């Protein structure tokens, strides 16, 4: 069982590092394991890993601070596109190093009787895209707050997204879902947050929170990289579940809206 490198246990050596490092886990340029010291390599944000002694699985962030290509001019739209593409590529590669966390999230969603989605602001818009795709797959999906959304119950899952993991409305709903016997799946940019503590499965995206305007993790404004990652991750979960289902594109088409 992987534990935060800050908490020494029988699984770690005297330095607080684990003697049985998972294979293929990224290392720093000096060979130091990236998941020690909260994933800091000479001041670079390479990521962090938390594995809890519950069902919760949290993906490590394994990305160096995103930087624009050397020839990118962010004052030009083409240059901005290159910057955003470079950041998303780096983030996707980092997430791909955590297949267990990704599959855990997908499994919680796939096993649910019904899926409820909830996030605030732009993250909410991104998560609604996932809700639509899951509906196209034939799943029963509800957007929390809509007038037709019913009560959540055992067997359901609340799929949430919050960069900080502290968004008030999301946390209150997650607590309510757990008390009703439902499961919680979360996408966040902050490991060890209240949301990850509540979640049955959580993926931590190596992206800046919206209040981080330092540019150290992302050159984009506020939570842009996180919100884009939520949309991509949702599409990836849908795509994987679709391919596993054996359904064709023609099978899914009748689920598309015909009142437009």
Domains observed in the chain: 1-46 (no CATH), 100-255 (3.40.50.10490)
Has residue 28 got a pLDDT over 70?
no
Catalytic hit among 17, 93, 175, 227:
227
Band of pLDDT at residue 68, cut at 50, 70 and 90: low
CB 86 within 8 A of CB 66: yes
260 is catalytic: no
Query: Which is more confident, 71 or 88?
Result: 88
Q: Which two tokens stand for residue 56?
A: 């919760």
The reported pLDDT for the residue numbered 56 is 42
pLDDT digits (tens, 9 = 90+) for 154-186: 999 999 999 999 999 999 999 999 999 999 999
The reported pLDDT for the residue numbered 55 is 43
For every residue of 106-153, DSSP letters joined together read HHHHHH-SEEEEEE-HHHHHHHHHHHHHHHHTT-EEEETTSTT-----
Phi and psi at residue 229, to the nearest 5°:
-65, -35
Has residue 11 got a pLDDT over 80?
no
What is this structure's pTM? Answer: 0.75
Band of pLDDT at residue 131, cut at 50, 70 and 90: very high
CA 39 – CA 41 distance, rounded (Å): 6
Q: Which two tokens stand for residue 26?
A: 């990224």
């Amino acid at each position: 069982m992987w534990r935060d490198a800050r908490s020494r246990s029988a699984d770690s050596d005297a330095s607080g590092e684990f003697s049985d490092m998972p294979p293929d886990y990224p290392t720093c340029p000096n060979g130091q394991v990236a998941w020690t010291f909260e994933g800091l390599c000479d001041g670079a944000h390479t990521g962090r890993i938390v594995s809890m002694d519950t069902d919760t699985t949290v993906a490590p962030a394994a990305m160096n601070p995103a930087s624009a290509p050397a020839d990118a001019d962010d004052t030009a739209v083409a240059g901005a596109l290159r910057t955003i593409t470079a950041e998303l590529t780096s983030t996707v590669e980092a997430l791909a190093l955590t297949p267990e966390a990704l599959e855990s999230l997908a499994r919680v969603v796939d096993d649910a009787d019904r899926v409820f989605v909830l996030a605030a602001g732009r993250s909410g818009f991104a998560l609604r895209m996932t809700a639509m795709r899951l509906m196209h797959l034939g799943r029963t999906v509800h957007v929390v707050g809509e007038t037709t959304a019913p009560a959540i119950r055992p067997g359901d899952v609340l799929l949430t997204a919050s960069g900080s993991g502290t968004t008030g409305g999301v946390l209150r709903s997650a607590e309510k879902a757990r008390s009703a016997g439902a499961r919680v799946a979360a996408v966040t940019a902050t490991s060890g947050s209240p949301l990850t503590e509540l979640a049955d499965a959580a993926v931590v995206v190596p992206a800046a929170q919206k209040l981080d305007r330092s540019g150290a993790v992302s050159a984009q404004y506020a939570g842009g990289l996180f919100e884009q990652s939520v949309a991509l991750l949702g599409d990836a979960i849908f795509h994987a579940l679709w391919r596993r289902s054996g359904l064709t594109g023609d099978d899914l088409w009748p689920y598309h809206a015909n009142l437009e």
